[in-house]
Amino acid sequence: QSALTQPASVSGSPGQSITISCVGTSSVVGNYHTVSWYQQHPGKAPKVIIYEINKRPSGVSNRFSGSTSGNTASLTISGLQAEDEADYHCCAHGGSRLHWVFGGGTKVTVL
Amino acid sequence: QVQLVESGGGVVQPGGSLRLSCAASGFTFSNFAMHWVRQAPGRGLEWVTFLHVDGRTQFYADSVMGRFTISRDNSKNTLYLQMHSLREEDTALYFCARETSPTTPFDSWGQGALVTVSS
């Protein structure tokens, strides 16, 4: 079992909002202040879109937002666009043994 | 702009060795900690290893501990990953990634180097 669990897929229509969950085991919950999210289009390198739970790097659309609640981190994409169709990966620090841990990734489909 | 370019990937038999390189440009390489992250075909991302700016502090995933070694040559602005005793499950696209801070581990990525372990 991965220390971070994401749904395999999420879909939505253009203009809608979708939320991707990232559920952590006890080894990573305490480090949720380190949560980051990465967008990866097919055949491309990942790109950071959220870091430190809810901060956006310069140039990333404000349609992307992050949050945490309990042992779950979430990425919300509002005003879904065709270009948002990609894989999304959450990541957090898992402590001194696991170090950095990724979720299994979520494929977002724009219907 | 920040650029990371991996090289050295290829096909190797189980038990073999390979060394990946990651050439950095567009920033002061010696000031940044670096990571290797891999992605098996059709799978998610897996963190592999970390190297601090001091060149000595290293961490490894359990899956590669004792087989892989990370190093850097600041004079050449290059990060390395030496891989020994390769297994079929090491087959993946290997990315190098720059760390901006301990809470922002992967702010820039290369395009990856493909390693295929097969007999």
B43 vs A contacts (CB less than 8 Å) = 104-105
Q: How far apart are CA B54 and CA B30, in angstroms?
A: 9
* Mean pLDDT per 10-residue section of chain A, whose length is 111 residues: 88 97 80 88 95 93 94 95 97 83 96 93
Q: Which residue type sits at B43?
A: R
Which pair of structure tokens corresponds to residue A86?
Answer: 């990609």
Identify the segments of chain B with pLDDT beneath 70: none
Q: How far apart are CA A71 and CA A82, in angstroms?
A: 30
Residue A30: per-residue pLDDT = 66
Q: Which residue type sits at B68?
A: F
Among B47, B104, B111, beta carbon nearest to A99: B47
Helix (H, G, I), strand (E, B) or coil at A15: coil
Instruction: Answer whether B44 sits within 8 Å of A46, measured CB to CB.
Output: no
Q: How far apart are CA B81 and CA A76, in angstroms?
A: 35
Instruction: Answer whether B61 sits within 8 Å of A51, measured CB to CB.
Output: no
Q: For all residues of chain B together, what is the average pLDDT?
A: 96
Which pair of structure tokens corresponds to residue A21?
Answer: 């969950």
Q: CB-based contact (8 Å) between A41 and chain B?
A: no
Closest CA to B102 of A33, A69, A43: A33
Q: CB-based contact (8 Å) between A60 and chain B?
A: no
B105 vs A contacts (CB less than 8 Å) = 34, 36, 91, 93, 100
Q: How far apart are CA A9 and CA A72, in angstroms?
A: 17
Q: CB-based contact (8 Å) between A36 and chain B?
A: yes
Residue A25: per-residue pLDDT = 80
Helix (H, G, I), strand (E, B) or coil at A23: strand
Select the residue from B106, B107, B111 to test the A interface by mutation, using most A Cβ atoms within 10 A.
Answer: B106
Min distance B94 CA to chain A CA atoms (Å): 10
